[in-house]
Chain A
Amino acid sequence: MSLPQHVTPSQVTDVAYLPPGLAQPSPAGDGLDAPYWGAALQNKLMVQQCNGCDRFLWGPEWVCHACHCFDLRWTEVEPRGRIYSWERVWHPVHPALTNGCPYVVVLVELPQAGDVRMVGNLLGEPIDRIEIGAEVEAVFEHHTDADPPFTLVQWRRAETD
């Protein structure tokens, strides 16, 4: 598969960060978020943008929160961001995670998309120090054997050069 602009081969993986057994995401029956999940399968990060006022929107929504326009488009954005907040989970609340702790959840804001925020895992050693504001880039984690297949958008500390 050819990669989109801004995505390197190391940003694509079929190695899952968390153990198997958690609920698998699938597009909502109302069709609202299908473009996002479809794009992720293609290593693309999409968010919504308003055709009325050009504002970015996330999570998936039917109406622009600013101008009430229902005409929203899906826009591909560069899959990078910075850590807005984080948590390190030590207590498993699901049987699948019994041997999967600790792990790190991050809230990543996307400056190139109006600072919308996305939830993912921070790849790497979970006990490493985490800094709010640190630059991160997406890793597309493919679950091709799932039915239906899905892709999680994970995050890793950006290469600094």
Chain B
Amino acid sequence: MARTMRGQVAIVGVGETPYYRHGQSPDAEFKLALAAVLAACDDAGMDPHEIDGFASFSNDRNDPPRLAAALGLPELRFSNMQWGGGGGGGSGAVGNAAAAVATGYADAVVVFRSLAQGQFGRFGRGPQIPRIQGRPAFTVPYGLMSPAQSFAMRVQRLFHERHVSPDTLKAVSLAAYYHAQQNPRAIMHGRPLSSEDYDNSRWIVEPFRLFDCCQENDGAAALLLVPAERAKDFKHAPAYILGVATGVPERAAAGVHNAPDYATSNFKSVAPHMYDMAQLGPHDVDVAQVYENFTGGVVMSIIENGLCTYEEANDFIQYDNLIAPSGKMPINTSGGNLAECYMHGLELQIESIRQIRGDSPNQVANANVHLIASGPMVEPVSGMLLGSEATR
């Protein structure tokens, strides 16, 4: 029998706290995590005491035993952290939780991410310390220290090697802001972005302008996973995990920017495993949620997940093609990390589930297969395909 998780696990509940600008959360990070977990159970209509596992990513500070104690869970059976920083673990954490559920290691696992940066400091700042050693000693003294600075040279190299146009970055940004205008939850709701606004925005680090960079936000999000045979016991239409994969290509984490393939989002080796598990291909994808740390990574992710080729990229990655409901491949239909909220990408899974349930702020009709690409340019990245009942 082929080993696969295809269709064996369903996401039946989603929970979100309100999203705040970074440092603005009135609540502590742990309290946000609890609120999101409880909201996911409430959304599903499941007694929270049934939770027996947690999975997270990016070194989330709110550990499962503490959560289990706070919620008075009868027992905790699965507590899992996906290695790697940034948003690269978003789909990987769901995959880990799904693997536990599919194999009977646990029965009801919550994937969560909670961030309160006012409490713990921001990502987009360089280290303010007197001395530095190891790998950062070869970059930080040259003023290369923030995430934007760490990824900009990959994108510059992409333009050079593959003749991809910087206009593709702009298209990704404008589409996200367009979608956020229909989404009252979005931080950038009511703040439309025009083509001129984008062109006139300041450089952060070339080739990234201000609107190529994600927000940093406070808040928490959670997903509730159960075995497929229980999927219809809950309040909403289930979202089935069709395929999931995580990893990096050869030597992607070689030190000081020495990955053999440099101009990459790191999905080239990962996406084929995801599609294989799902028994689907890129042409089956109806809507894509593509993690944006920076727009250049989205462009690479679109290409490396097979939605277009390098040669097609300049024609395909255009605003009209990326917006819902009319575009050929709507992406980031809630506004994503750029314009809805930066919940380390877990809001992208939630938006896919809204699309499956039919209550997205930018609903695409008859959309059954949903790609979520978590991470780009970090190590490891992860991706998943979610499907409606029709895809099982």
In the bound complex, CA of A49 to CA of B144 (Å): 26
Stretch among A2-10, A72-80, A83-91 lining the B interface: A83-91
In the bound complex, CA of A117 to CA of B259 (Å): 9
B143 touches A152 (CB 8 A): no
Is A119 in contact with chain B by the CB < 8 A criterion?
A: yes
In the complex, what residue of chain A is closest to B251 when comparing beta carbons? A65
Chain B residue numbers with a CB within 8 Å of A93 are 124-126, 145-146, 149
B206 touches A59 (CB 8 A): no
Contact indicator per residue, chain A 51-94, by CB within 8 Å of chain B (1) or not (0) = 00000001111000100000000000000000011111111011
A23-B130, A59-B135 known; A132-B160 Cβ under 8 A:
yes
In the complex, what residue of chain B is closest to A89 when comparing beta carbons? B205
Stretch among B34-42, B150-158, B277-285, B305-313 lining the A interface: B150-158
A116 to chain B, nearest CB (A): 6
In the bound complex, CA of A102 to CA of B202 (Å): 12
B284 to chain A, nearest CB (A): 34
A85 touches B262 (CB 8 A): yes
B140 touches A61 (CB 8 A): no
Point out the residue from A65, A84, A89, A94 that lies within 8 Å of B157, measured CB to CB. Answer: A84
Chain B residue numbers with a CB within 8 Å of A29 are 133
In the complex, what residue of chain B is closest to A37 when comparing beta carbons? B137
Chain B residue numbers with a CB within 8 Å of A65 are 251, 254
Most buried by A among B131, B141, B148: B141
Most buried by B among A24, A87, A95, A119: A87
* Residues 100 to 129 of chain A near chain B (Cβ within 8 Å): 100, 102-103, 105, 107, 116-121
- Can you list the 7 inter-chain pairs with the closest CB atoms, starting with the nearest? A59-B255, A59-B256, A25-B137, A23-B132, A94-B126, A85-B153, A87-B152
Listed by A's residue number, 5 A-B pairs whose Cβ atoms lie within 8 Å are A24-B131, A87-B206, A91-B202, A105-B144, A132-B160
Interface residues of A (CB under 8 A from B): 18, 22-29, 33, 58-61, 65, 84-91, 93-95, 97, 100, 102-103, 105, 107, 116-121, 132, 150, 152
